[in-house]
């Protein structure tokens, strides 16, 4: 049988003690309730502590992932810059080989089959698995490294050939004849006079009247006079069947039979002949056949 318990609460002003009486079973219930509250409080504190730790770990992980993504984006831009540099080197290489009549093309490992897979920012960056990103990135950089080594070997081959063909190279056009902007490119165009299609045999470089015109390579002046509809014109013959022509000049400072070197001033830009404004019409011919002058401009 459960006993009856009493607890002294307080003593009033008359000296009488106030007591709280309750049965034993109620005491047990109170103890159980207190124990449950303590256990619940401990569990809640433990859960809160775990939650705080997990929250901090998640924030740290998100920060790390964001930093990794930022680094990958930055690296992607650097990879694009490398690709741009390689493309520029290949273009320069191709021009040099054409200029020295070197038919052999440099070997570029995987340039055709791999180019579709090398757009790093479009193909790799949307993949959020860091392990896959790292693996693809290492593979991609290895490919770039291999191509860079091949380009270096190709440039060394060209340098060796240059040393053997210095005289030939000095008489091969390789610079801009004047500074300005291209107002009409080589190839088919609409004639500014008839508005009909015609084949433009050179390129027009628009610039200010009187801008100096330079010989683009060493050679011998074979014509200096009035061209047919082209105003004052200078034609220079170079080695290898190459010739250059400079038309619509205001004046010229060379004469037929005169030898010139690359960079020598041969006249100035004018607008004589059939012209819509001050410009230089610049032509390059190989064995009498017009070719694109841009193929012979290295800078």
In DSSP notation, 248-295 reads SEEEE---TT-EE-TT-EEEEEB--SS-SSSEEEEEEEETTEEE-GGG
Model pTM score: 0.52
Determine the Cα–Cα distance for residues 117 and 236; give it in Å rounded to an integer. 47
- Only one residue has tokens 């009035």, namely 226
pLDDT digits (tens, 9 = 90+) for 38-53: 888 888 888 888 888 8
Determine the Cα–Cα distance for residues 115 and 38; give it in Å rounded to an integer. 67
Q: Which has more pLDDT, 62 or 132?
A: 62
Per-residue confidence (pLDDT) for residue 192, from 0 to 100: 79
Q: Which has more pLDDT, 18 or 292?
A: 292
Longest dimension (CA), the chain: 142
pLDDT digits (tens, 9 = 90+) for 147-172: 777 776 776 766 666 666 666 778 88
For residue 298, count other CB atoms closer than 10 A to its CB: 13
Determine the Cα–Cα distance for residues 268 and 247; give it in Å rounded to an integer. 10
Alpha helices (runs of H) in 100-108, residue ranges in sequence order? none
Using an 8 Å Cβ cutoff, are 240 and 220 in contact? Answer: no
Nearest alpha-carbon partner for 184 in 293, 111, 85: 293
pLDDT greater than 60 at residue 127: no
The two tokens of residue 102 are 């070197």
């Amino acid at each position: 049988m459960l006993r009856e318990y009493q607890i002294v609460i307080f003593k009033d002003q008359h000296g009488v003690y106030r007591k709280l009486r309750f049965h034993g079973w109620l005491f047990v219930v109170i103890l159980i309730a207190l124990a449950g509250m303590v256990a619940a409080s401990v569990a809640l504190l433990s859960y809160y502590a775990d939650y705080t730790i997990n929250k901090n770990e998640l924030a740290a992980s998100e920060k790390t992932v964001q930093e990794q993504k930022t680094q990958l984006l930055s690296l992607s831009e650097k990879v694009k810059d490398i690709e741009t540099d390689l493309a520029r080197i290949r273009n320069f290489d191709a021009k040099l080989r054409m200029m020295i009549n070197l038919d052999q093309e440099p070997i570029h490992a995987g340039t055709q089959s791999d180019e579709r897979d090398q757009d790093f920012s479009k193909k790799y960056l949307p993949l959020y698995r860091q392990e896959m990103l790292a693996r693809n990135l290492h593979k991609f950089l290895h490919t770039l490294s291999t191509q860079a080594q091949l380009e270096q070997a190709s440039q060394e081959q060209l340098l060796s050939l240059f040393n053997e063909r210095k005289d030939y190279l000095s008489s091969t056009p390789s610079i801009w004849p004047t500074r300005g902007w291209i107002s009409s490119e080589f190839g088919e165009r609409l004639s500014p006079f008839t508005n009909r299609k015609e084949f433009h045999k050179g390129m027009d470089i628009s610039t200010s009247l009187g801008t100096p015109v330079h010989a683009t390579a060493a050679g011998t002046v074979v014509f200096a006079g009035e061209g047919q509809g082209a105003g004052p014109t200078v034609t220079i013959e170079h080695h290898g069947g190459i010739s250059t022509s400079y038309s619509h000049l205001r004046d010229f400072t060379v004469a037929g039979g005169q030898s010139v070197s690359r960079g020598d001033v041969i006249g100035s830009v004018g607008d004589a002949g059939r012209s819509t404004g001050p410009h230089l019409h610049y032509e390059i011919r190989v064995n009498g056949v017009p070719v694109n002058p841009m193929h012979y401009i290295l800078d």
